[in-house]
Structure 1
Amino acid sequence: MIKRFILGVFVFTTSAILAQRNSASPYSYFGIGENFEAVTVEQASMGGIGVAMKNTHHLNFINPATNADLRWATYAIGGSLTFLTIKEGNESQTGNSTSLRYISLGFPIGKKAGFSVGLQPFSSVGYSLLDDEIEENLTLFRGEGGANKIYASYGMYAYKGLSVGVEAAFVFGNVQNSILNQRLDNSRYTSYEESFNVRGGQYKLGVQYKRELKNKLQLSTGASFTLTTDLSAKGNERMYSLSPVNGEVKDLLYNKSLEGTINMPLKSIYGFGLGKDNKWYIGANYQFQDALGSNSVFITDGQSHKYGNSSKISVGGYYIPKINSISSYWNRVTYRAGVRFENTGLLVKTTENFTEVKDFGINVGLGLPMPREISNLNLGFEYGQRGTTNNNLIKENYFNVRLSLSLNNRWFEKRRID
């Protein structure tokens, strides 16, 4: 029964991820949208660490080598609710968005290997900006869409304590941007529309090593590398005038096709951690990626914005008072916390110079055991800030509420008759 339920939910939520709009950030205006960092709710609650973390009944999206530790068939689904406050100068606005963040299935293969497959957002676009600084001219900027990623990941133990892994993914999606301009002294509107599809493969390699120290302490290290790849971008742009009364197109000014590539450079993540199994863990990650590149206007025109190198530092961990406690449920709960500091690599043109957009987040979370199961319900909370009001830019204050289910069951076992 549980297997049919999991497979049914997998199909349903896959359709939901493909159809959703999961961003309300003005910064999703740039490039192919707001980047989605592939982490579980459990990992996000610890600041996004996990490249060195091993776990037998939780999936790990950062490092494919962790599949080698799977001992249960694991189904994971995660979603989030974001409350956003946008500040520009002395003005502010609020908004929110709800989204499914991932759906994945993982299986052990023997005692030294594992495999997982799933669907995740890759980027998201969702903005609506009104520029009314000039009294005679109103301009509305709108965008929606984004890209998704289907992946398959495999990990195995190559030597005692040393595991390696590989992940292959296919990125696909559509981005739509539009600019609607109205001059108060003119009876017609002018509209510019841009729409393009994103396609391409992506590959990731991972390695982990764990060594047991004295007093049952375990030291783990890990690294993952998302290889350089080019995503194709094909679409069209057009400009036309339309009637303000019924929206009827009056004159098509131009309509042309666009084609280019988006270069995703090598992304490297390194990390280490120290802890005791089912008791506590503390770890740190460092992530680095060269600047995104493109031979088309899909990513950057070099005038309004451009991309530089990006980096991120994450520190966090968990604590379980007593995992097998009978007298107290709260002693079996996993308590998580973490913090992250990020240079996004996005540089936005202000008056004369480019200003880099930075991001910062503080995270806490709970892993709530489900009755009679090793499965659990995970809650995560994050307060963060992105951008700045300096140099006429936009500052975002956001609060994320995250929720996930990690369901575990033994599949592919032979039934025994007593």
Structure 2
Amino acid sequence: MIKKGLIVITLLVSVSVFSQRTVSSPYSFFGVGEEFKPRTIEQASMGGLGAAYNSLYQINLTNPAAAAYLRYSTYTFGLLNNDLTIDDGTKKQSTTTTNLNYFTIGFPLGTKAGAHFGLQPVSAVGYSLVNNVFDADETLIERTLFKGNGGLNRIYGSFGIFAAKNLSLGVELDFVFGNVENSIRTQRSGVQLATKNLETANVRGGAIKLGVQYKKELKDKLMLDVGASLKLSNTFNANGREYLYSLAVGINDSEAPRDTVYNVASRGKLKNPLEAIIGVGLGKESKWYLGAEYEQQDAIVAEGYFDTVSDAYKFGNSNRISIGGFYIPNVNAINGYWKRIKYSAGVRFEDTGLLVNGSSTSNTFTSIKDFGMSFGLSLPLGKGLSNINLGFEYGKRGTTSNGLIQENYFNVRVGLSLNDIWFIKRRID
């Protein structure tokens, strides 16, 4: 009930005033919120590559088959700072948020296998928008506050093993959990109490991902990498409640609930179809790398709490194309620190699979697209393989046509990757 009215107000030009903006994006209203792709800073800095990429000391969050290549124990985490500007064609507003991007630990298992596990956000819901209605004398007669918060996280474990020479296979299991909340609060001039429609949901789910990678040495020490990953279809289940009640609003926006009109249980399912990623890369070990990959997924199917039967939005097929790579001037340079730095860059073209009708007078749905350009630095710590990772990304999502909103964003990612040799029996001569 709440969703049909909420999205029409949240994203359309008819919203007269953007007075508040909190975590994430207005587009985070849909589904389980704004999605965070499983990528490390190194991957994000190459446009999101990961299907074919592998490393002896870097974790790959896209393809579990890459875990077989790990030869050093690795502890890594990343932070994401997002500067976002919202533009509806007439007004702009900016906000900044910071959150944990991922936390993971990986290690080799003998000489033919490896594993890593960790914690990562899956999605975030966070918007706070106000719509004011004035009469002919410009007197405020109604104010509606649209608010959402929450999100999902995942605990995962990946395992990779060499099934044959230069051929690795991998599997990843994860468990997704979190809470989502959306609300509409309306106050009218001359009416003592406001009304609030609140929806809460506890979301749980899980997924299995399979991966394969093949590496072949060509002439002049060139290495060809080919890889693919398949995330099997999975379902997020939501259990929650929907409330409608009256309340008194204090001067500091405090709320004092009064009479409850209804309080009912709600359930829903978000069915995620098979997600396929295929990639190819070419390069020289610890020198340079250039790769490309393609990702595709059919339309998400929503039921109950997540139901998208609406004239305002629906889900469609999604896809992504990424191109990127890195360059290291001289990884073994004794003098000249900047020669040992890894410089990364990439571009990403993405169709998010979200279609929105921003007009109340037509039935035209606009596909929400996302474009990003990225650049990164991996700064060596001492003479070992540990790094401080920095990533920068500028992008655009959405459009101001068809009564919608365009988001311009600048992401700064900061992380640490510590590498060592664990589980080695010491010998005394």
Once the 2 structures are TM-superposed, how far is the Cα of residue 417 of structure 1 from its aligned partner?
1.2
- AA matched with 2:55: N
1:118 aligns with 2:118: yes
Distance in structure 1 (CA, Å) of the matches to 2:133 and 2:53:
50
* Structure 1 residues 77-134: Cα deviation after superposition (integer angstroms, max 9, x where no partner): 0111111111112101010100111000111000000011111111111111111255
Q: 300-309 vs 118-127, which deviates more?
A: 300-309
Percent identity over the alignment is 52
Contact 1:270–1:285 (Cα < 8 Å) also in 2: yes
Q: TM-score, normalised by structure 1?
A: 0.93
Alignment of 1:66-105 (within 5 A): 66-105=66-105
Q: 1:292 to 1:23 in 2, by over 3 A?
A: farther
* Structure 1 residues 242-269: Cα deviation after superposition (integer angstroms, max 9, x where no partner): 1234632222111100012110110000
Distance in structure 2 (CA, Å) of the matches to 1:331 and 1:168:
38
Q: 1:133 to 1:45 in 2, by over 3 A?
A: farther
- AA matched with 2:200: S
Which residue of 215, 228, 238 corresponds with 2:220?
215
Alignment correspondent of 2:273: 265
Alignment correspondent of 2:374: 363
Distance in structure 2 (CA, Å) of the matches to 1:138 and 1:40:
42
Alignment correspondent of 1:12: none
Alignment correspondent of 2:182: 177
Distance in structure 2 (CA, Å) of the matches to 1:219 and 1:139:
57
1:162 aligns with 2:170: no
Distance in structure 2 (CA, Å) of the matches to 1:299 and 1:411:
49
Once the 2 structures are TM-superposed, how far is the Cα of residue 354 of structure 1 from its aligned partner?
1.4
Distance in structure 1 (CA, Å) of the matches to 2:73 and 2:98:
28
Contact 2:47–2:347 (Cα < 8 Å) also in 1: yes
Alignment correspondent of 1:33: 33
Q: Which secondary structure state, in structure 2, belongs to the residue aligned with residue 43 of structure 1?
A: helix
Alignment correspondent of 1:231: 236
Alignment correspondent of 1:60: 60
Contact 1:178–1:192 (Cα < 8 Å) also in 2: yes
Distance in structure 2 (CA, Å) of the matches to 1:382 and 1:367:
15
Q: Which secondary structure state, in structure 2, belongs to the residue aligned with residue 71 of structure 1?
A: coil
Where do 5+ consecutive residues of structure 1 fail to align? 1-21
Q: TM-score, normalised by structure 2?
A: 0.91
- AA matched with 2:177: F
- AA matched with 1:106: G
Which residue of 194, 197, 208 corresponds with 1:203?
208
1:386 aligns with 2:358: no
Once the 2 structures are TM-superposed, how far is the Cα of residue 190 of structure 1 from its aligned partner?
0.7
Alignment correspondent of 1:331: 339
1:348 aligns with 2:356: yes
Distance in structure 2 (CA, Å) of the matches to 1:281 and 1:23:
35
Contact 1:65–1:155 (Cα < 8 Å) also in 2: yes
Contact 1:187–1:244 (Cα < 8 Å) also in 2: no
Distance in structure 2 (CA, Å) of the matches to 1:261 and 1:24:
23
Where do 5+ consecutive residues of structure 2 fail to align? 1-21, 135-139
Alignment correspondent of 2:323: 315
Once the 2 structures are TM-superposed, how far is the Cα of residue 299 of structure 1 from its aligned partner?
4.8
Once the 2 structures are TM-superposed, how far is the Cα of residue 161 of structure 1 from its aligned partner?
0.8
What is the count of residue pairs matched by the alignment?
397
Distance in structure 1 (CA, Å) of the matches to 2:23 and 2:47:
20
Contact 2:24–2:34 (Cα < 8 Å) also in 1: no
Q: Which secondary structure state, in structure 1, belongs to the residue aligned with residue 379 of structure 2?
A: strand
Contact 2:268–2:307 (Cα < 8 Å) also in 1: no
Alignment correspondent of 1:409: 420
Once the 2 structures are TM-superposed, how far is the Cα of residue 321 of structure 1 from its aligned partner?
0.4
- AA matched with 2:76: A
Distance in structure 2 (CA, Å) of the matches to 1:224 and 1:209:
12
Once the 2 structures are TM-superposed, how far is the Cα of residue 336 of structure 1 from its aligned partner?
0.2
Distance in structure 2 (CA, Å) of the matches to 1:61 and 1:370:
23
Contact 2:269–2:303 (Cα < 8 Å) also in 1: yes
Q: 393-402 vs 125-134, which deviates more?
A: 125-134
Q: Which secondary structure state, in structure 2, belongs to the residue aligned with residue 152 of structure 1?
A: strand
Contact 2:269–2:305 (Cα < 8 Å) also in 1: no
Distance in structure 2 (CA, Å) of the matches to 1:348 and 1:181:
24
Alignment correspondent of 1:375: 386
Alignment correspondent of 1:280: 288
Distance in structure 2 (CA, Å) of the matches to 1:57 and 1:396:
35
